[in-house]
Amino acid sequence: MVAWAYFTMPSEQELQQRQAEQARQDSIAAAQVDTSKTQSAQQPPQQADTQQAEETTQPKRHTLQTTEKKQQEMGVFSKASIADTSKLAVQTPLYSATFTNVGAGPSQITLKDYKTWDHKPVKMIKDSSHSAYSLGFLTTENYNVETDQLVFEQLTPGNSISVAKNDSAQIKYALNISDSKRLIYTYTVYGDSHQIGLDIQFEGIQREVVGGSVEFGWGAGLNFTEKNPETVEASYMSAYVYTGGEMEQLKLSEAGRNTQDYNGNINWVATRTKFFTQIIETSNQTESALLVGEQTGASDSRQTEHRYQSFITADLNQQGTASFRMFVGPMDYHALHSFDAQAYNMVDTGYSWLSWISDPLVEYIIIPYFGFVDNYMGYGFAIILFGVLIKMVLYPLTKKSYKSMAEMKELQPKMQEIKEKYEDDPEKQQKETMKLYKEAGVNPLGGCLPNLLQLPILVTLWRFFQNSILIRQQEFLWASDLSAPDYILSLPFSVPFLGDQIAGFVLLMTAAMMAQSKLTGGMGPGGGGGGAPGGMNMKALQYVFPFMLLFIFNNFAAGLSLYYLVYNVVSIGQQLIIYRQIDQEKEAANA
């Protein structure tokens, strides 16, 4: 036993290494405790408990576990960590950020121009104990290095920097392995952009990276920002990769964990909530990308955690450098388009089969229009004006549709005679009806085709108003946020598909549609109820359809309901004008 104790006793060098490693771990733990105390002091007790629960369940690269990951040995890289932790506050006109030397990167990014649904600052990053970005690679000593677990030396002096609107600044960190070997991070932040540049330099250690490739990605979660996230944001939370000219999405629909690997040339990877995103791209040669997602319960449960990560694998260049460009901010068209022309594809502006019209309509008409009127009026009035303009543009198609319906109404008595005359001979009845159409020069589909031509525009607007950040938190009348439902009535019970609240603009839209249906049935073409075949059934359907839309639209964005309200009100006005013109033309013809 004495001999065993003698031979297993650690050397003086090993004792020093152990002490250094213990000091590094203690410093990281102290930084986490300090962060937790600061957040608890700034938040109410219940909110602080919720935040603490979120932080303890944050994923660590690739392994989305619910317990804190233990520190791992990483060879000389782990030993290069320093004991002291530091933070650097960065202020720009667009956001404020906190950079930490634990992982060498941003641990918090707060947007200045955007608020959560309850008017609190939008904090992009959930985990605030270490860098949201992490670099991973395998060393020739067979160590799996993950830099978010290492403590760098902050080379940028001071504890705060401020960046002016048209200016930029650099933030540097170093992991010093020896006098001639070190890992250097150089961030570039801009005063007029949500973009962040990063150059990672392997000085003297490039050959120690197996394969000469590194994996860089976003390991932190993104915060929810909207009210009722289980119904509003859960369906948008996902990860993306753009590769080979196509965008791929990782989205979980049930509890579980899933990973997706992609090989070849990778343009960018991203994760997102409904209105905010983070994106990573590199100028280096790429090898692959990895998307990771985890869902802890049912999609519509408030207790469910939705966590997504995205990583991109790039080769070091001949100088031993890997360069990355990141975006952390709103899913605004101009902001995303300045980062990458395809990044705005993450915003759903319509179905794929309608992309031939929805994409140019959004890019060249809708977005420029709202950008122009933003200087002159609020978004509520802008939506009203837009609805009027759309109806004016579509007026020729609308007039053609109503005139065709009027012609069909004139033929109703003759069509009824044919039905009664050939009641026992359906084939003869159909032939005589088609003959009547031909003699009268009436197209039975004339009332439908113009409406079908309008359908792509209506569907595009339906999708766009629900998903665009343009109208987010824009107030109009009683609606405090045009991108969310404008509930004005609370029910003592919940109705299937409707919920326990009713939105104001949806009620007005339904009333307008019923008025339009009554107008069409009473004085419009094809009206008269029982005069037409199946008239009573069709008349009932005219009122059932608007009632159904009340259930469908009740939980949609208020801006969408406002648009359709205006659309229907203007349609009623156009119907009255067109019917008066038809009557005047008929009187002139009779005279």
576 to each of 528, 570, 581, how far by Cα in Å?
A: 17, 10, 9
- What gap in Å lies between CA 429 and CA 52, rounded to an integer? 75
- What gap in Å lies between CA 451 and CA 445, rounded to an integer? 10
* Confidence check: pLDDT of 382 > 60: yes
Q: Tell me, what's the pLDDT at 74? A: 76
**422 or 39, greater pLDDT:** 422
- What gap in Å lies between CA 417 and CA 375, rounded to an integer? 60
Backbone angles phi, psi at 161, to 5 degrees: -140, 155
CATH number of 16-62+74-347: 2.70.98.90
* Confidence check: pLDDT of 278 > 90: yes
Q: What is the mean pLDDT of residues 264-278?
A: 92
* Sole residue written with tokens 């709103």: 330
Q: Tell me, what's the pLDDT at 572? A: 85
Nearest Cα neighbor of 461 from 475, 471, 448 is: 471
Percent of the chain with pLDDT over 70: 81
132 to each of 124, 222, 340, 375, how far by Cα in Å?
A: 10, 10, 21, 37
Percent of the chain with pLDDT over 90: 23
Mean pLDDT in the chain? Answer: 79
Q: What is the dihedral of CA 53, 59, 63, 68, to 10 degrees?
A: -50
Q: Are the C-beta atoms of 590 and 534 separated by less than 8 Å?
A: no
- What gap in Å lies between CA 233 and CA 306, rounded to an integer? 10
Q: Confidence class of residue 370 from pLDDT cuts 50, 70 and 90?
A: confident
Q: Are the C-beta atoms of 105 and 185 separated by less than 8 Å?
A: yes
Is this structure's pTM higher than 0.85?
Answer: no
Query: What per-residue string of b and e applies to 334-353 under the rule 16 or more CB within 10 Å gives b?
Result: ebbeebbeebbbbbebbeee
3-class SS at 552?
helix
Task: Find the range with the poorest average confidence among 257-261, 370-374, 427-431.
Answer: 427-431
Strands in 383-527 per DSSP E: 487-495, 499-503
Count the helices and strands in the chain (H runs, E runs).
16, 22
- The strand pairing partners of 138, in sequence order, are 144
Predicted confidence (pLDDT) per residue in 294-347, tens digit = 888 877 777 788 889 999 999 999 898 999 999 999 999 889 989 998 999 888
CA angle at 325 for the pair 463 and 355, rounded to the nearest 5°: 25
Structural domain boundaries in the chain: 16-62+74-347, 354-590
- What gap in Å lies between CA 484 and CA 556, rounded to an integer? 7
Q: Confidence class of residue 271 from pLDDT cuts 50, 70 and 90?
A: very high
3-class SS at 79?
helix
Predicted confidence (pLDDT) per residue in 140-180, tens digit = 888 888 888 888 999 999 899 999 988 999 999 999 888 88
Q: Which two tokens stand for residue 365?
A: 């008409």
Task: Find the range with the poorest average confidence among 183-192, 221-230, 250-259.
Answer: 221-230
* Confidence check: pLDDT of 276 > 90: yes
- Tally Cβ neighbours within 10 Å of residue 252: 19
Predicted confidence (pLDDT) per residue in 46-75, tens digit = 444 444 444 333 334 454 433 234 345 777
Residue 177 CA neighbour count, 13 Å, CB half: 16
Strands in 41-191 per DSSP E: 87-91, 95-100, 105-115, 121-123, 133-138, 144-146, 153-154, 160-162, 168-176, 182-190
* Confidence check: pLDDT of 27 > 80: no
